[in-house]
Amino acid sequence: MSARSPLGEFLRARRAVAVPDEDSLKLPGERRVKGLRREEVAQRAGVSVDYHVRLEQGREHNPSDQVLEALARALGLDEFARGHLRRIVAGDTSPPARAEVARLVQLMQRWTGVAAFVVDRNLDVVASTALAAQLSSGRLGPGCNLAVYVFSNALAREQPGWSDLAKNVAAALRFRSLPQDPRRAEVLESLADDLAFSDAWSRAEVGPLVSGTISLDLGDKRGQLVEFHALDVVAAPGYTVLMVRPVLGEAHRSFPHASQRR
């Protein structure tokens, strides 16, 4: 039952990574659980242990706003995780703004000499400029998935900053995607055997994509580090534009049209 409860899954995962206070660590006996005990979360949140257990097991689905806020404080959730918690309970199923998405696709088709692509809630690439698709050897063109690309790219794992990128991508997938979306389940299934993804996902961190670096193939130069900048699309919630540019050095020299850029 609990496995089918997004709320229960999230509460259990965040409890497992929450930090016990010093008084709890000083108590006699060995702690047999990671993070906080259910009793500790219930005490911090001011709810009964039985009620908290029902929430984690998916037997209670409609906690009040006051209870959600108390649980967020008890688990030390930041603003993104708090928003995610509220969306889980609300059962957000809002459809994408199709007209705005169509405009994004048209924009990508018109941009020349610019490396950019658009991802949706599941980090599926829905549109890209020709240059962006070329730089990733087609692996970040429409129909591809950013999370799958990041975790399946063996060369990228050797690059500095890959660990931070991987954590951010996993956090963004949880933050943007909807638990009941079949496509999300497909993406998770495709990454189920990846130990790095499983570790990042199990921490239940939540947050949008942020600017960083990613490894791309630039001509015959494989695994070149480039910068990307993430821009949320306000008119199409859940969609993000990623703009890519070369860093200084070999990647800059290998970048197509680099000599024409300022």
143: pLDDT strictly greater than 50: yes
Q: What's residue 198's pLDDT?
A: 95
134: pLDDT strictly greater than 80: no
Cα angle 101, 186, 106; round to 5: 15
Strand order in the sheet with 125-128: 125-128, 115-119, 240-246, 221-232, 212-218
167: pLDDT strictly greater than 80: yes
The string of DSSP codes covering 79-108 is HHHHHHHHHHHHT--PPP-HHHHHHHHHHH
- Least confident range from 158-167, 194-203, 205-214: namely 158-167
Task: Tell me the mean pLDDT in the region 244-250.
Answer: 65
Three-state SS sequence of 107-133: HHHHCCCCEEEEECCCCEEEEECHHHH
Tell which wins on pLDDT, 161 or 196. 196
72: pLDDT strictly greater than 90: yes
Task: Tell me the mean pLDDT in the region 122-133.
Answer: 88
Is 100 exposed, middle or buried, given 0-12, 13-18 or 19+ CB atoms closer than 10 A? middle
Q: Residue 125, Cβ neighbours under 10 Å: how many? A: 23
Q: What's residue 2's pLDDT?
A: 41
Q: What's residue 171's pLDDT?
A: 97
Average pLDDT, the chain: 83
Fold of the 2-90 domain? 434 Repressor (Amino-terminal Domain) (1.10.260)
192: pLDDT strictly greater than 90: yes
Backbone angles phi, psi at 237, to 5 degrees: -55, 135
Residue whose structure tokens are 């400029």 = 129
Range with top average pLDDT, 52-56, 137-141, 218-222: 52-56
257: pLDDT strictly greater than 90: no
Task: Tell me the mean pLDDT in the region 183-188.
Answer: 96
Range with top average pLDDT, 30-39, 65-74, 127-136: 65-74
Q: What's residue 133's pLDDT?
A: 77
Largest Cα span, the chain = 67
Same-fold call for 2-90 versus 98-260: no
Tell me the C-alpha distance between 152 and 104, whole Å: 27
Report the chain's terminal Cα–Cα distance, integer Å.
56
Which helix (H) or strand (E) segment holds residue 68: the answer is helix 65-75
Task: Tell me the mean pLDDT in the region 2-10.
Answer: 79
CATH architecture of 98-260: 2-Layer Sandwich (3.30)
Task: Tell me the mean pLDDT in the region 71-99.
Answer: 86
- Least confident range from 43-57, 68-82, 140-154, 233-247: namely 233-247
Is 224 in a helix, a strand, or coil? strand
Provide the residue type at 49 as one letter. V
Q: What's residue 1's pLDDT?
A: 34
73: pLDDT strictly greater than 90: yes
CA atoms within 13 A on the CB side of 123: 27
Q: What's residue 152's pLDDT?
A: 87
Q: What's residue 20's pLDDT?
A: 85
For CA atoms 80, 86, 88, 91, give the dihedral sign. Answer: negative
Percent of the chain past pLDDT 70, that is, above it, reads 82
pLDDT tens-digit readout, 90-111: 877 666 667 778 888 888 888 8
80: pLDDT strictly greater than 80: yes
Domain regions of the chain by residue span? 2-90, 98-260
Q: What's residue 196's pLDDT?
A: 94
